[in-house]
Amino acid sequence: MEFPPAGWEIFPSVDFDTAAPRVAGDTVMEVMAQVRPNGRCVDNWRIALGGSKILDTDFRLKDICKSSAVNPYKLKFQAWPRDIKLRRNMASTPWYDGIAHLERREFTVYKEGEQEASKTEDLLEVLAGIEDLGKKAFSFRLAVGVGPDKSMNLELQGLPASEAVLTSKPAFMG
């Protein structure tokens, strides 16, 4: 078999960590690999995200937080696909600490039944009133998965633990 196969685009390895997807669209992703001249893959691959549409994400806090005090709250945030950095040789971002993101005002906070955004301080006060860190902690990350239609999808994943707890456990490092 001849290398490279038809349709493959070869780029300099110096651009590997920063190369953006070459296809256009609202949201796109490409798998990139470091390949030797003989066609053998080197150790590294990455998934690059791009596109011309801002991604909107929202989730109910009760889905990833153990305290019932947060049940009425929903969090929203936006991101450009190009700003989402999936880790090399992995299909996910690192874990992000939810409370730290709240404190930096990186979420828009909504309360159930209200159309207008709530004050972030209101939710921070609710969380401050919860003494057990295990009940109020939550973390999230973005990961690439394969959907039912066998296409790659970007999904939000969350767990009821702090980023420090998750990164201290080998099972959650990847």
Query: Which pLDDT tens digits describe the chain residue by residue (174 residues)?
Result: 677 788 888 888 888 888 999 889 999 999 999 888 787 887 899 999 999 999 999 999 999 999 999 999 999 999 999 999 999 999 999 999 999 999 999 999 999 989 999 999 999 999 999 999 999 999 999 999 998 999 889 999 999 999 999 999 777 665
Q: Which domain holds residue 160?
A: 55-80+87-172
pLDDT of residue 172: 65
Q: What is the CA radius of gyration of the chain?
A: 20
Position 16 in a domain: no
Position 101 in a domain: yes
pLDDT of residue 21: 92
C-beta separation of 78 from 57 below 8 A:
yes
pLDDT of residue 173: 64
Position 1 in a domain: no
Position 28 in a domain: no
- The DSSP code sequence of 138-163 is -EEEEEEEE-TTS-EEEEEEEESS-H
d(CA 30, CA 14): 17
Position 116 in a domain: yes
Position 46 in a domain: no
Position 111 in a domain: yes
Count up the domains in the chain and report the number.
1
Quick one: tokens of 100? 């730290």
